Structure 1
C-alpha cells in the first residue's frame, strides 16, 4: 500500500576511499559496480533512518496506523532491546506488535514473510515492514570489503486483502544454511564471545569471504527465485522486473542470466547507494517507483541472500501507488 526510503545526506565516492584502501577508484567500480554510497554522520542510528523511511511509506499509503512494525536489521540501535518497539513508539504507535528480524542482507524478505504470516493468521490487519542498516559503522576501515557497504532504510506498508489483488505477495520462499555462518559474520558482542572467560576479545568488525559468498549468493538466490516463480505459476520470461538485493553488480547480471530473464529487467541502484544490507530491496523499490521504472501490472520477483547463511524470494504484481518527488 505504500513505500518509502531514507538515505543519509552524506555521499562517499570511490575517490574518498581510494587512498585509504590503496586501490584506484575505477578498480573499486569494476569489482563492485559501485561509484558512491551514503554513510551516516555521528549520532545517527539505524533506528533514525528506519523512522524516516517508515514515516514516508505510511504517508503514501491509505492505511494510517498499522497493527505491527517489523524491522529487519543486522545493526540494531542496541543489542537489547530490539529496535522495532522504539521505531514504533517514535511513529506514534505505542501498543502495537513490534519485533526485529535478523537475517542480514536477506532480512527484508524474511520480514515480509513474518508480516505476511501475522496478517494471514489474523493477528493484525496491517503491518509496516522496514529494512534498515548502518554497516558503515561495522566494517574495518582498511578492509577492502568496506567499499561495498552504504547506509540506508526502506519501508513498505502491507494490509490484508485477496491473493488476486495487485500488490498481493506470493508465497515467501525462505532458506538457511548455518554451516556457512563464518562467511559473513561479526564475532564480537554475543554470548559466544562472553562465554570464553579470560579469552582475547573477538573481532568486532564485519568480515566477509567475498569469493565464496559470490557463488553461494548466485546459487541460492537462483534456486529460491525459481521456487517462488513456480509457486506463483510464472515462467521466468514473464517476469517484468527482478528486484534483487544489491550486493554486487556482477551477481545481479549472473542471476538474471541463470534465470533466463533479460539483464535489462534487473533493476539496480547499486552504483549510487552500494550494498545497504536489509534496506537494499525496499530502497530499490522506492527509487524505481519514483523513477517510473515500476508500473502498475509489472510482475516483480524479489530475492535476497545474506549472512546466516540466509536467502529468500517472493513475487508480486506491482500496484498503483502514489509517487513521491
Structure 2
C-alpha cells in the first residue's frame, strides 16, 4: 500500500493583546516617529497585529495551537510520534533546548517521541511540512505535529517604522497522519544564500552578550522583488509535480507578509483574489506561523472543505522559499 500524509487537524492561537495601526501610530509618535494608519495599510495591507505578553514564549503560543489541532484530529498528545516546530524566535538563546522539546514537555507527553526545530524563517512552516511528509511516506512516523510559532515583537526595533509596523506574534499547527488517500500532493523547497543579508537579525551571542544587532533588519525593496519572482515559480513547480493546473486550485494560502505580494502571486497564477485566504490585515506578518494560522481560520469558518486543493507557499530570510500542495 502506498503511504501518503494527510492533514487531519488544524489549530491556531493569537495572543490577547491586539494592537491596531492607530494604537501603534500613537505609541511611535510618543517617540518622535511619524507614521499613520493610512501609511501602514497602503504599503502592507495590515490594520492590526497581536503581541505576546512578556511572560509568553513561542512554546506557550505553540501549545495553544497544538491542543486545538490535536482536538480536531481526535488525538491525545501521546498519540504523536514526531513534533516539528518552525520558529525564528525560539524559547532559548542558541536554540537549545529546542522549542519542540519544550512543547513536548508542556503538552505533558511521556512517550519519548522525536522532537526537533526547523529554521527557515517565514518559509519555516512549509519546510516543516515537507520534512514531516517525507518522514510519514518513509514509514518512520505515523502522526506528526507540525507547528509554526513566533514572538517577533521581541526582535523588532521600534525606532524603525519600516519594519516594526509589519510583524506580529502567533502560532498555527497541523497534525499530519499516515493515510492511504493522497493528502500532501507535492512539496518544493529552495534556498539562495547569496541573499542572506537582505532579511536577517545580524547579531550573535558572544561572552554572554549580544555582538552585533539583535533586531530584525530588512531590505524591503529587495525582499519584495525576490518574493514576487519566486512565489509564482515554486507554485508552478508544485503543480507540475502533482500533475495539476492552477485552475484546479480551490485555495491559495501564501505567506501573509504583504498584500501587494500576495495579490501579485494570485494574479500571476491566474487565480481570482476570492480564492486567496487573507489574514495579514488582522495578524500582520507572523513569519512561520502565518500560513498555518490562515489555514486554521479558513478551515474553521468553513471556507476550506474536505477534498479542496490548497496551495501553501512562503518566502523567508536565508533566502528561502517553498510550496506545499495539499488535498484536504
> TM-score by structure 1 length?
0.92
For residue 196 of structure 2, the aligned residue among 153, 158, 181 is 181
Task: Report the CA distance between 1:4 and its aligned residue.
Answer: 0.4
For residue 100 of structure 2, the aligned residue among 67, 79, 84 is 84
Residue deviations 1:76-108, cap 9 Å, x none?
000222110110121122311000000000000
Name the counterpart of 1:13.
Answer: 20
Superposition pairs for residues 167-246 of structure 1, below 5 Å? 168-189=183-204, 194=206, 201-246=211-256
State the secondary structure of the residue aligned to 1:11: strand
Name the counterpart of 1:68.
Answer: 82
Structure 2 unaligned segments of length 5 or more: list them: 1-7
Alignment root-mean-square deviation, CA: 1.5
Task: Report the CA distance between 1:62 and its aligned residue.
Answer: 2.8
- Pair 1:100 & 2:127 matched: no
> Structure 1: how far apart are the matches of 2:226 and 2:267?
15
> Structure 1: how far apart are the matches of 2:264 and 2:197?
24
> Structure 2: how far apart are the matches of 1:9 and 1:26?
24
> Structure 2: how far apart are the matches of 1:293 and 1:159?
22
> Structure 2: how far apart are the matches of 1:314 and 1:114?
11
Contact 1:246 1:281 in 2 (8 A): yes
Residue deviations 1:139-186, cap 9 Å, x none?
101112111101000000011113x44xx1022100000111111101
State the secondary structure of the residue aligned to 1:214: helix
State the secondary structure of the residue aligned to 1:69: strand
For residue 118 of structure 1, the aligned residue among 114, 123, 135 is 135
> Structure 2: how far apart are the matches of 1:81 and 1:296?
37
Contact 1:63 1:159 in 2 (8 A): no
For residue 42 of structure 2, the aligned residue among 30, 33, 55 is 30
Name the counterpart of 2:71.
Answer: 59
Name the counterpart of 1:321.
Answer: none
For residue 159 of structure 1, the aligned residue among 159, 174, 177 is 177
Q: Which consecutive aligned stretches of 4+ in structure 1 deviate over 2 angstroms post-superposition? A: none
> TM-score by structure 2 length?
0.91
Name the counterpart of 1:49.
Answer: 61
Task: Report the CA distance between 1:201 and its aligned residue.
Answer: 3.1
Name whichever structure is richer in strand by fraction.
Answer: 2
Name the counterpart of 1:271.
Answer: 281
Name the counterpart of 2:3.
Answer: none
> Structure 2: how far apart are the matches of 1:16 and 1:37?
11
Task: Report the CA distance between 1:240 and its aligned residue.
Answer: 1.1
Deviates more, 1:229-238 or 1:131-140: 229-238
> Structure 2: how far apart are the matches of 1:76 and 1:186?
13
> Structure 1: how far apart are the matches of 2:134 and 2:326?
16
Contact 2:186 2:326 in 1 (8 A): no
- Pair 1:129 & 2:146 matched: yes
Against the structure 1 CA distance between its residues 200 and 129, is the aligned structure 2 distance closer, same or farther, given a 3 Å change threshold? closer
